[in-house]
Homo-oligomer: A and B are copies of this chain.
Amino acid sequence: VADPDGLRSISHSLLEAIKTHPGEQVLQKLGTPNFVMLLNTGGILPTRNFTRSQFEGAERISGETLEETLSLGNEGCYACAVRCKRKVSSKERYEVSAEYGGPEYETLASLGSCLGVDDLEAIAKGNELCNRYTLDTISTGMCIAFAMECFEKGLISLEDTEGLDLTFGNADAMVEMIERIAFRRGLGDLLAEGVKRAAEKLGGEAKKYALHVKGQELPLHDPRGKFGVGLSFAVSPTGADHIESAHDPFFQQIGPGLESVSPLGILEPVSALEAGPQKIRLFRHTQLIWNLWNCLGICNFIAQPPWALSLNEVVNTVRCVTGWNTSLFELMKVSDRGMAMARIFNLREGFGRKEDTWPERLFEPLPDGPNKGQTFTKEDLEKGKDLYYEMMGWDRENGKPTTGKLIELNLEWLL
């Protein structure tokens, strides 16, 4: 560390900032599970494989309920002052070990609402199993959601499931399917391939229920209620991803979220439903910021937007740690460089403009909630991509970084 005193001073002021930051306080108290009720109220809680966007059992799998029932309180990563992680255990219908942490929001939705499951204990067990077997809870849940919809539509039979009733809402079936996926037993062997390949093997209508982008299963945010998140899903180099960019609702009104991005020159509120130029601009800037967290190895729950560590303090932190005379300008270029490199890699591997898309279901109207009926069209998405590519210095044809852009980023070797 080039400047230990400087770093210590940032650390102390961050500690104070966390204590008074409403969002960090909620994270400390409830963790990400607090998002269950927020998304359900907003009508963007993926339910039964995205056929609904509100879940009648939301309260039973909410952060508040988790806290009142299975939770043993919070834990944290090393030296973290937020400590958003939950510790849970149970010895009722399922024995849930406290060793594997509690379910995050994504898991409560992927193993819960998206399967129509409102059994918190089963979800906690499913979470434990995924963590034990090193399965991603989002992809695992979405594979089971896919299977449940196929089961409902008759594309997967009781014979295929060896008698397991894959009806939406069957909590025990969810737990059992995780075991089968982990050990590639029976139908689990098919689902372990992910929804894209599974649908290809099943054939026919199955494709309609395989919700993924570039083979990556959708995370648990219905983008029909927040276009920036939708654009994330389409253009993220790793396929559908919910931590590609700060989510639209933070910037809908004058307030701390919007104020935190003023160093980026973003000064005006933008509606979550906006799909036009101002949204693309907001998305591009906040995507570069969140990608910077990936480059720096910073947690997604600590820095602005929308958390406690300001962009300027991030820059100062890098200066203190490295001793480099850096700036937000240079760090944004670092992030931009990462995006360009990932893009070039993807293009080489055959992922271009055509693959920056949504599964068909996301072009249908939002089924529930305050924005019920809200629809983004294919034209909205294609126009958004045009602008996004151009803002990134990529061509419109295939999103290929231009020669000038690569050289601006000192990536001449990628020409």
How many copies the complex holds: the figure is 2
Contact of A325 among B263, B330, B391 (CB under 8 A): B263
Contact with B along A167-209 (1 / 0, CB 8 A): 0000000000000000000000000000000000000000000
| Dominant SS among interface residues on chain A | helix
Whether A386 pairs with B410 at a CB distance below 8 angstroms is no
Q: Confirm or deny: A13 has a beta carbon within 8 angstroms of a beta carbon on chain B.
A: no
Interface residue tally on A, bucketed by range: 35 or more
Q: Looking across the interface, which residue of chain B has its beta carbon closest to that of A280?
A: B407
Contact A259 B393 (CB under 8 A): no
Cβ B329 vs Cβ A264 within 8 A: yes
Q: Which of B328, B386, B388, B390 contacts A328 (CB 8 A)?
A: B328
A329 touches which of B325, B328, B407 (Cβ 8 Å):
B328
A408 to B336 CA separation, bound complex (whole angstroms): 14
Q: If the complex has contacts A262-B324, A263-B327, A263-B329, are A389 and B410 also in contact, measured as CB distance less than 8 A?
A: no
Instruction: Indicate whether A312 reaches chain B with its CB closer than 8 angstroms.
Output: yes
State whether A311 touches B327 (Cβ < 8 A). Answer: yes
The segment out of A26-34, A82-90, A117-125, A398-406 that lies at the interface is A398-406
What are 15 A-B pairs at a CB distance below 8 A?
Answer: A262-B324, A262-B326, A262-B330, A265-B333, A265-B334, A277-B412, A281-B407, A387-B403, A387-B407, A390-B402, A390-B408, A391-B393, A391-B405, A392-B404, A393-B393
Q: Can you name 14 extra interface pairs (CB under 8 A) apart from A263-B325, A281-B408, A327-B328?
A: A262-B325, A265-B330, A281-B410, A284-B408, A328-B328, A328-B330, A329-B332, A388-B404, A390-B404, A390-B405, A390-B408, A391-B393, A391-B405, A391-B408
